[in-house]
Amino acid sequence: ASEEAPSTDLITLTRHVLSDQLRLGSAATGDLTLLLTAIQVTSKFIATNVRKARLINLVGLAGETNVQGEEQKKLDVLSNDIMVNALRASGKTAVLVSEELEDAIIIEEKNRGKYCVVFDPLDGSSNIDAGVNIGTIFGIYKVRPGSEGSIEDVLRPGNASRYGSSANLVLSTGSGVNGYTLDAALGEFILTHPNITIPPRGKIYSFNEGNAMYFHAPVTAYLNSIKYPAPPKTPYSARYIGSMVADVHRTLLYGGIFGYPNDKKSKSGKLRLLYEAFPMAFLTEQAGGIATTGTKRILDIQPTSIHERCSVFLGSRDDVSDVVKFFKEVP
Ligand code: AHM
Ligand code: MG
């Protein structure tokens, strides 16, 4: 067997973002790099807490309080606190919107920077106890010129936001998508999946079909078309984890389609526009795919409130185009 010498030239996330900024010749102040450093630390901190919590759950019979006598916080609340504390302390943020918090946080003047961060601190939390992949989703906006930080800075179409990400850190700074894997020994995210590109067509569909009886006609017709195709075509495979971070991650790498449509019961769908649909739509488009509500490009939606929801179909160009066709043709 051939033995490869270990690489002595690691491309860490920080190095990669810095070189990207130099390459683009942007007036790099280092602010974005510092903000991303803070976000990386939160990802590591949240990841260790998720692992610890699994162990704590095993000894959970001892009671619901830890050794210090403090009540265990639910992991999603804990993750939210980790994000808020780190982002505020970074000095680079002006507005924070979290799935866990009813209201946006406007950062006080002494800590204020020029970025707004929208995030879902621990997406897929219904999967925590099963040890299934969960992760953080975030989007970063610059405050509008002259603004001191207000909700209006984040109530902007998704293409005004610049970056989005998730579990095995996947990041786009607006010129393609890169995947980084945490090297636990080094404590660094290492570039392992440069320039992720979604295959133009896949063989996988990812929907919660438990909602099928509520689906609108175009969605039902589309799903039937991939499950009962006219020969010689063969049916698609179903894969649905129920963690958007994991389902979208797979879709980016393998192709196919992920969908969480609105339906007769959930009139606006389930996923949140600002910190679920926008970041994932951004990553998808940057990787060469499409993200739509079925009738409209997700990144073009003008949000009107911070927690609003929207219908989502995203993934391979040809697969998502098929859904759009069904929306045009099926009444
Ligand atoms: P959450 O933010 O409360 O975890 O909900 C969002 C999650 C997504 O990760 C996932 O795509 C979806 O909800 C799954 O919903 P369902 O359980 O209805 O299939
Ligand atoms: Mg979520």
Average pLDDT score over the chain: 88
Tokens 């929907």 belong to 207
| Tokens representing residue 172 in the block | 């786009």
Whole-number Å distance between alpha carbons of 216 and 330: 10
Mean of the pLDDT values across residues 188-200? 93
ipTM exceeds 0.85, yes or no: yes
Is the pLDDT at 62 greater than 50, yes or no? no
Q: Sorting pLDDT into bands at 50, 70 and 90, what band is 108?
A: very high
> Which of the 8 DSSP states describes residue 197?
-
- For the record, the structure tokens of 313 come out as 């179909």
Give me ligand 2 centre to Cα 25, in Å. Answer: 35
Average pLDDT over residues 127-143: 84
Of the listed ranges 151-160, 222-231, 249-258, 322-331, the one predicted with least confidence: 151-160
Cβ(279)–Cβ(164) under 8 Å? yes
pLDDT band of residue 80 (cuts 50, 70, 90) is: very high
The CA-based angle 131-284-81, given to 5 degrees, is 45
Is residue 48 within 6 Å of ligand 1 at its C-beta?
no
Residue 59 has pLDDT above 50, yes or no: no
CA 111 to chain centre: 26
Question: What's the pLDDT band for 218 if we cut at 50, 70, 90?
Answer: very high
Task: Please list, in sequence order, all residues whose beta carbon lies within 8 angstroms of the beta carbon of residue 94, skipping any fewer than 6 positions away.
Answer: 106, 107, 112, 113, 114, 115, 116, 143, 147, 148, 149, 153
Average pLDDT over residues 233-249: 94
* Nearest atom (ligand 1) to Cα of 125: 4
User: Which of 285, 305, 281, 279 is closest to 293 using CA atoms?
Assistant: 281
243 lines ligand 1 (CB under 6 A): yes
- pLDDT band, very low/low/confident/very high, at 66 (cuts 50, 70, 90): low
- Residue 125 CB–ligand 1 contact under 6 Å: yes
Q: How confident is the model at residue 175 (pLDDT cuts 50, 70, 90)?
A: confident
Contact by Cβ (8 Å): 103, 133: no
38 vs 52, 84, 88, 90, 252, CA distance in Å? 21, 11, 10, 6, 25
CA distances from 73 to 92, 101, 126, 133 (A): 27, 15, 15, 20
Look at strands 188-193 and 178-183 and give their pairing: antiparallel
Cβ neighbours of residue 242 under 8 Å, at least 6 residues apart?
124, 126, 127, 132, 208
**pLDDT, position 26:** 60
Instruction: Kindly state if the Cβ of 99 falls inside 6 Å of ligand 1.
Output: yes
Using the predicted structure, report yes or no on whether residue 54 has a pLDDT greater than 90. no
Can the peptide bond before residue 232 be classed as cis, meaning omega within 30 degrees of 0?
yes
